[in-house]
């Protein structure tokens, strides 16, 4: 395949999946600017591996894996430790069918979860990955994924109940 064709396929993939990757990055780090940085780093690494990844047909899974690993690397470097209060709230409008107050409460509750619990919950219930896929993406055992997801969901329900939510908010209604 010619280089121009490969680049055109990469550009097409980026145009179609960048918003998804950006939302996933935001859910991981809680900051739109940092999410943009994570996506940019992810796409740069994906571009280098594009011929091989495209040949294997696992573009999206590979992009998610890079995104998760880039986020872990950034967290370990400490860039994720200090956040301004204004970074807690999303700067994007909520969907019309989901009240801003509920979305804000969910984002605040997610922000209070420990990092690995938040990633497990997001991978399982927002990205729709299976337990084995989540374990592979995060590099942890399947049992750990199950327990962290269970604890994370329980904690979300507690946090949202504290805000006098009548019932826990499901991820499928948000995104």
Please report the domains of the chain, with CATH numbers, ordered by start residue. Answer: 1-80 (1.10.1740), 97-175 (1.10.10.10)
Confidence of residue 99 (pLDDT cuts 50, 70, 90): low
Tell me the pTM: 0.53
Q: Is the pLDDT of residue 163 over 70?
A: no
- Percentage of the chain modeled with pLDDT above 90: 27
Q: Which long-range contacts (CB under 8 A, 24 or more apart) does 160-166 make?
A: 160/105, 160/106, 160/109, 163/105, 163/109, 165/102, 165/105
Query: In which band, very low, low, confident or very high, does the pLDDT at 149 lie, cut at 50, 70 and 90?
Result: very high
Q: Give the span between the Cα atoms of 167 and 163, in whole angstroms.
A: 10
Q: Which of 35-44, 56-65, 73-82, 130-139 has the lowest mean pLDDT?
A: 73-82
Asked whether 174 and 106 are in contact (CB, 8 A), the reply is yes
Q: Average pLDDT of 149-169?
A: 76
Q: Please tell me the predicted confidence (pLDDT) of residue 2.
A: 75
């Amino acid at each position: 395949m010619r280089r121009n064709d490969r680049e055109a396929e990469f550009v097409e993939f980026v145009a179609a999946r960048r918003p998804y990757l950006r939302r996933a990055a935001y859910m991981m780090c809680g900051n739109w600017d940092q999410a943009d940085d994570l996506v940019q780093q992810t796409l740069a690494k994906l571009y280098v591996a594009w011929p091989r990844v495209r040949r294997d047909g696992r573009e999206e899974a590979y992009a998610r894996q890079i995104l998760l690993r880039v986020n872990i690397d950034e967290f370990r470097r400490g860039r994720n430790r200090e956040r301004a209060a204004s970074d807690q709230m999303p700067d994007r409008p909520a969907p019309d069918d989901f009240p801003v107050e509920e979305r804000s409460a969910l984002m605040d509750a997610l922000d209070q979860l420990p990092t690995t619990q938040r990633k497990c919950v997001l991978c399982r219930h927002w990205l729709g990955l299976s337990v084995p896929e989540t374990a592979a993406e995060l590099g942890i055992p399947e049992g750990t994924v199950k327990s962290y997801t269970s604890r994370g969901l329980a904690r979300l329900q507690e946090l949202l109940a504290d805000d006098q939510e009548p019932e826990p908010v499901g991820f499928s209604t948000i995104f």
